[in-house]
Structure 1
Amino acid sequence: MRFLFPSDYFKPKRVDPTYAEQFALFDDRGCATSVISLENLSLDSSTIYPRSNPGERLIYRGWMLAPDDYSILVKAVRNTGAQMWIDRDEYLRTHYLPNWYPLLGDLTPETHCFDVDDRLESKLTELGWSQFFVKDYVKSLKTSTGSIINSPSAINSLIADMQKFRGTIEGGICVRKVEDFITETERRYFVINGRVFAASPDLEIPKIVTECARRIDSKFFSIDCIARRDGRIRIVEIGDGQVSGLVGWTVDRFANLWTEFTID
C-alpha cells in the first residue's frame, strides 16, 4: 500500500506543506509514500514521484477533487501499473451528499436536493421550514452570511454568495432541515474496511456511528456525528476518507491506524 499526497506547487517532487506532517509520519511507520502535482491533473500530465510499483494499491490523502479530476488521478495511477484503492464510483459514493443520504435518512437531518436552476424560493416555501441549511453536494458556505437562512426569499442571495466565494457550485443544491445541535459535541470518526476508529482509542463509539458504518459500502470514509439538545445523537456528515481533514485528531493517531490491521 502506498500513500499519495499532493506535491508542493513550486517543488513538484516535495509534498505540499499542508500535508508534510502526515507524509513524514507515514514514512516513519514504514509506509510507502509518493506525491503528485494536482495543478497538472487537468493537463493529463501529472507524474507520481517516486513512481508507484506495478500491482501496488494507492490511497490518496489530500485536497478534495472534482469527479473529472479524480478520474484523471485514477488514470495516472493506472499508467504506472498500480491502482487506486478507492475508485471513482466509490469516491463519489461518500463524497457527494445525494449518494449517501438515501441510506442514512433516518439518522441525519431531512434533506432535499435541487438543481441550481430550479425555482428554489418556491421549493423552499413548499417545505415550510423555519430555517434552512444550504450547501452544494460537497461543501457549505463558511464566509459571508454563512449557510443558514431563515426565509426562502434569501436563497438566491445565498446562492450568489456561494458562487462568488466558492467559485463554483459542485453538483447541485442540498437543503437540510436545521436541528438543535450542540456544536461543541461534534466528533469525527474514520471507517476503514468496516472498522470504526475514534480520535482516541479509549473513546466509546456511538451506536449510530456503528450503524452508519454498516450501511455505507466504502472501504475508507469519515463520519461526523453530533448531539442534539434533546439528547439524541445524529449523523451530520460523511465523506470520503481520502479527502477528510483530521478534525479533532492528531496526525500521530491517524497514522497509527494503518498499522493496526492488514488492508484487503
Structure 2
Amino acid sequence: MLLLVPADPLRGARPDPHWAREYEAALALGLDVALLDHDAAERGDAAAAVHRVPASADVVYRGWMLTAGQYAGVAGALAGRGARLRTSPDAFRAAHELPGWAPTFEGLTPDTAVADGFDRPAFEAALDRLGPGAAVLRDHVKSAKQDWETACFVPEASDRERAWRVAQNLIRIRGDHAVGGLVARRFEELTGPELRSWWVDGALVCIGAHPDEPDADTPGGKGVAACDESPRDPALVAFLEAIGVRVRGLGLPFVTVDLARGADRWWVIELGDGQVSDLRRDADPRVLLRALAE
C-alpha cells in the first residue's frame, strides 16, 4: 500500500503539517508514502497534482476534501503513472455524496428527502416527501451547521416561506462549493456527543469521539479519546452490528460512519469516504494505517 497525503503548500517536498502525523506513522510502519499537490488538484490540474507519485497497485489517499470530479481527475492522472487508487471514483462519490449512501441506511438514519438541484420547486417537493415537523437542511455533501439558526435548522417544514429563507442562506454560504442539490432531513434531538467509526472492507476498525467533539467521552470510557477503544454500551454494540450489515451492502472499501444517541436510540448522522475524513489529533493513526495495510 502507498499512502498519499497532501504536500505542504509552501514546502512541496514535505507533507502538509496537518497530515504529517499520518505520513510519519506510515513511514514508521514501513509503508510507502507520496505527496499530492492539493492546490493543483483543486484547480483541475491533476497531472501536476500527482507528479511526485510513483507507480503503485494500491494507493490510499488521506487528505483534504476533494469534489467527486476532482477525485476522478486525480484517479485518472494516477492511472496514467501506473498508480491505482483503492477507492474508485464511483465508490468515492457514493460515500462522499449523500444520495449514494442514505437509501441504504433507511431506518438507521433520520428520514431524508433529496432535491436534484437548488431551485424552489425541487426543494418544496422534497419537503412534501419529508412531511411536517422540524428539519435540518444541507446539500449533497455538507451543511452550514455553524449557522444553525439561519442556514441549517427549519423549525417547521410546512412553513415554506421560512424554510426557503433558510435554504437560500445555505445556498449563499455554500456558494461555489454547493454540490448536487438541497437535502431536508428530519430533525432528531441528540442526547450525547457525536462519535466517528472507521470501516475498512466492511469491518469496524475503531470508534471514538468525533473530531468536532473536543472534550467528549468516547465508547472506551470517560476521558479516553483515542480511536482504538472497544464500545461497552450494549445498545451501541448492537447498533454497530446493524451498521456493519449496511456498510458491507454498499461494498465500499474505506468509509467513516458518524453516529450519535437520540432520546431512545442511536442514529447514523453521516457516512463519508474515509480518505477525506479527519482523525482526532489524540488518536493513534497507526491503528487505522495497520488496518488499511492489512
**TM-score in terms of structure 1 length:** 0.88
> Which stretches of structure 1, 4 residues or more, deviate above 6 A after TM superposition?
none
Distance 1:258 1:8, change over 3 A: closer
Q: Is the 8 A contact 1:209 1:235 kept in 2?
A: no
Matched, 1:250 2:251: no
Report what 2:38 is aligned to: 38
C-alpha separation in 2, matches of 1:146 and 1:118: 15
Query: Residue type of the partner of 1:237?
Result: E
**1:27 and 2:27 correspond:** yes
- How far off is 1:237 after superposition? 1.1
Point out the more displaced range, 58-67 or 199-208. Answer: 199-208
Offset of residue 47 of structure 1: 4.3
Cα distance in 2 between the residues matched to 1:237 and 1:260: 22
Change in Cα spacing, 1:233 to 1:143, as seen in structure 2 (3 Å) is closer
Matches within 5 A, 1:147-158: 147-151=152-156, 152-158=160-166
Q: Does 1:179 align with 2:212?
A: no
Task: Tell me the SS of whatever aligns to 1:245.
Answer: coil
Q: Secondary structure at the match of 2:108?
A: coil
Write the mapping of 1:139-218 to structure 2, written as runs, cut at 5 A: 139-144=142-147, 145-151=150-156, 152-168=160-176, 169-184=178-193, 186-197=194-205, 198=207, 199-204=227-232, 206-215=237-246, 216-218=250-252
Amino acid at match of 1:85: R
Task: Say which SS state the counterpart of residue 259 (structure 1) adopts.
Answer: helix
199-208 vs 106-115, which deviates more? 199-208
**1:219 and 2:253 are equivalent in the alignment:** yes
Residue number in structure 1 paired with 2:94: 93
Mean alpha-carbon deviation: is it higher for 15-24 or for 237-246?
15-24
How far the C-alpha of 1:44 sits from its partner, in A, is 3.3
- Name the % identity: 25
Task: Tell me the matched-pair count.
Answer: 258
Question: Do the aligned residues in 2 keep the contact of 1:5 with 1:19 (CA within 8 Å)?
Answer: yes
For the residue of structure 1 that corresponds to 2:145, the secondary structure is: coil
The runs of 5 or more residues in structure 1 that have no matched partner are none
Instruction: Give structure 2 stretches of 5+ with no counterpart.
Output: 208-226
SS of 2:290's equivalent in the other structure is: coil
Mapped to 2, the partners of 1:50 and 1:66 lie a distance apart of: 21
Deviation of 1:9 (Å): 1.9
Cα pair 1:111 1:174 within 8 Å, conserved: yes
